[in-house]
Chain A
Amino acid sequence: MSYLPFGPIHPALKEPLRIKLKTEGERVVDAEVDLGFIYRGAEQIARGKPWQKVAYLTERICGICSDAHPHTFIEGLEAISDCVPPVRAQYSRVIMGELNRIHSHLIANAIWFLAVEHETLGIYNLNIREKVMDLLEMISGNRVLYSWNLVGGVRMDFKESHLKKILENLKEVESEVYRYRKMFKSDALLGLRSHDVGKMSKEDAIDVRAVGPVARGSGVKFDWRTKHPTYVDYFDFQPVWRDECDNYARVMMRFDEVLDSIKIIRRAVEELPDGPIRKECEIPRGSIDYRYEAPRGELAYIFETAQHGIINDITIRTPTIPNLEACVKHMFRDSPTIADAVAIYQTIDPCIACTERVVIVDEKGNENDFRGMQNVLKELKALKNKKK
């Protein structure tokens, strides 16, 4: 029995984090995760700031799901103020959100292919992703951070030429993704690295509260988009899921979701209604627990506002937190080689920039100055009881 640490800087890792693998020869028996290298204190910065500034800050929590963070935050604010944005704005949010999902899934798969040293598919994925990045830059003005959502609508309108370009580029992306999917499916070497590696059963996935593609790859049929008002009203959305429970399922999930997202965008572009893109909303005092399906899974924003849209307190729960736990607890177990452990780690699509959130442990049980998730949830419960 020996320990093999890797990270915070390691050729296989793109982001700093330390994983300690407990090994028996080549076999991985157990693992430990050491976090906290890039904690920046975003929650503390957000306190006492107006929502306009906090929206820019939430975007910069994670650069890959940079539409999902402000999307959740802004829709939470709208839920507080009982304000429904115009239909055209809702459609444009869907288009942006799904484009963001496509680019996130493609880079996740690209990095997985690079991690198993299949460079051809990795570079192909990166290359086709550029088409999506071009669309995002053309629509919003920046390749990575879009600043697209505002309370009551979106910042800019689509032009006819934009819609045409979206359909044109997506056609190319779709055919290429079908091709890569076929390559991945039929490649024998990739099959060795993916089939029956990193197994996590459905029960285990539910047990560690895994979310997003990781849970859906293990047969959990849940997606927050099935409860999102826009998807319920205008798109009869059905989640994609698989039951292989291994690396193959998770990588395949991402390809399938890309194809699914392309279908949603195509439908949104074709049915895009006319009308205004923004509406005035007044933000009252209030608190909310709002969830949305980020590319990596469930993203929860629990926050409290003062008058004039000033944020009093905010707690963010990002999808990588439970997924990392699932990876360490269930997937690393009985991984045949250390090289496979790296491959398994990359299939959960970890985003450490998201994961570095506040955890306050108070030994004496004193009330800390950070008000925390439990306190806000307590108030929410009390409010619900009052209404009854």
Chain B
Amino acid sequence: MSSAIWYLYEFARKKWLERFLDATTDPEIAETPSRFRDFPEVEKELCISCGACVFSCPSPGAIKLVRGEEEDTIFPVIDEGSCIRCGFCVEVCPTEPKTLKSGENSLIMEEYRILPHEKVYIADEYLCIRCKKCLDACKVGAISYQDNLISIDQSKCVACGDCIEACPVKGAIKETYIINLDEQKQITNTLIESLENTINTEMEKIRKLPDFDPSGIVKLEFPLKEIIEKAHEIIINEEMILKLMEKVTDRLKMNVIVWNEELCNGCRLCVDECPVGALSYDENTGKVQRDEKTCLRCSICHQTCPFGVPELYVARFLLKDDVILITLKPSKISIRS
């Protein structure tokens, strides 16, 4: 009985009647709180086209840098179909105020580096000429000049590469990939090995060198195509491979030892001098043998031998288009008399 009275009381109320006649959802369901991470809004004028947002986006194809109609305007465009509304691009945006805005994520101050970098930029004290062009080129203020030294603050750097373009000296700012270090090592090793093999196959040509031109040089070419194919099996990123090869060829200096066995008299002066024991005396032939695998190419035997059995050449490399140019010339290290 009491429940029947309750029902009567409940249904006779004006509020209930109003609700019954106007049964629609509250409009508040479409309201979002202030922290709601919607699709990021872009303010084109503020963008410095550093690419931090594109690089940090976990969803591929959600954000793209697009060139505007006016000259020199590049800004990010968000594809709503791919965007996962994580707000990470907003957090890593280095401009002040932020180019991208979404909820309160834009208020997160970048006290600590949360941007994942693939590359690190380091200024070389030795090569730097202190022209300070990079200071103007850097749009996030990561480069500073103090005590006659240029230094790059890694926590502010967005790895855009503008400083390298502004730098007039090749190699004064070094760009290094810090991912896939083991794979990079593998590629470097295979490159050096195959370069050495090419030199070894041309050994006869080098041997003849002193005969016709004692001060001359030998020029060889090494096609890049094969080695790049090999490297692709280890790393997919082509730009990374080319940068790595360029760096290796720029820095590499290789000593080449040519062993003229017929000149050997069996005096065994060199055997004790060798620091790794790569040389051994063969009693049957009465000559000294060299083990190529353990040899360090340190040139001590070249300096010791009075008969000119080990000849030393220095090879240098240059990457040009799709070949590596190899230049060999006789070393100028003097022979101890």
Contact = CB atoms under 8 A, between A and B. Distances in A.
Interface of A: 48, 50-53, 56-57, 60, 137-142, 145, 147, 150, 152, 155-156, 278, 280, 306-310
Given A60-B84, A152-B112, A52 B35 contact: no
The SS class assigned to the A binding surface is mixed
Contacts of A48: 179-180
A53 B36 contact: no
A56 B36 contact: no
A155 B107 CA distance: 11
16 contacts: A48-B179, A52-B114, A53-B56, A53-B58, A56-B88, A57-B58, A139-B35, A140-B35, A142-B85, A145-B86, A147-B86, A147-B87, A150-B114, A155-B108, A307-B181, A309-B116
Interface string B132-166: 00000000000000000000000000000000000
A310 B116 CA distance: 9
B105 interface: yes
A156 B33 contact: no
Contacts of A139: 35
Given A50-B116, A53-B58, A137-B36, 15 more contacts: A53-B56, A53-B116, A56-B86, A137-B35, A141-B33, A141-B35, A142-B85, A147-B37, A150-B114, A152-B112, A155-B108, A156-B108, A278-B112, A307-B181, A308-B179
Nearest to A54: B58
Nearest 5 pairs of A and B residues by beta carbon = A50-B116, A141-B37, A141-B35, A53-B58, A56-B58
A163 to B, nearest CB: 14
Given A56-B84, A141-B37, A147-B87, A307 B104 contact: no
B171 interface: no
B84 A278 contact: no
Interface in B28-79: 32-33, 35-37, 56, 58
B88 A141 contact: no
A57 B108 CA distance: 21
B87 to A, nearest CB: 7
A152 B113 CA distance: 12
A217 B299 CA distance: 78
Contacts of A142: 36-37, 85
B256 to A, nearest CB: 35
B121 to A, nearest CB: 15
Nearest to B117: A308
B35 A156 contact: yes
B153 to A, nearest CB: 14
Interface string B99-115: 00001110010011011
B156 to A, nearest CB: 14
A141 B87 contact: yes
A138 B58 contact: no
A331 B105 CA distance: 46
B178 interface: yes
Contacts of A60: 84
A52, A60, A152: most-surrounded residue (chain B CB, <10 A): A52
Contacts of A278: 111-112
Contacts of B104: 141, 156
- Which residue of B56, B58, B105 has the most chain A CB atoms within 10 A of its CB atom? B58
B118 to A, nearest CB: 9
Contacts of B58: 52-53, 56-57
A309 B115 CA distance: 11
A13 to B, nearest CB: 26
Interface in B319-334: none
Contacts of B33: 137-138, 141
A53 B112 CA distance: 16
Nearest to B179: A310
A149 to B, nearest CB: 12
Contacts of B114: 52, 150
Contacts of B179: 48, 306, 308, 310
A120 B264 CA distance: 102
A141 B102 CA distance: 10
Contacts of A50: 116
B19 to A, nearest CB: 16
A48 B103 CA distance: 30
A152 B103 CA distance: 22
Nearest to B178: A308
A111 to B, nearest CB: 21
Residue among B33, B85, B178 having the largest count of chain A Cβ atoms under 10 Å:
B33
Interface centre among A48, A51, A56, A60 (most CB of B within 10 A): A56
Contacts of A141: 33, 35-37, 87, 103-105
A310 B84 CA distance: 22
A272 B81 CA distance: 39
Contacts of A52: 56, 58, 88, 114-116
A280 B113 CA distance: 9
A147 B84 CA distance: 11
A375 to B, nearest CB: 17
B109 to A, nearest CB: 10
Contacts of A57: 58
Contacts of B103: 141
Contacts of A137: 32-33, 35-36
A280 B112 contact: yes
A52 B56 CA distance: 9
Nearest to A55: B58
Contacts of B36: 137, 141-142
Contacts of B85: 142, 145
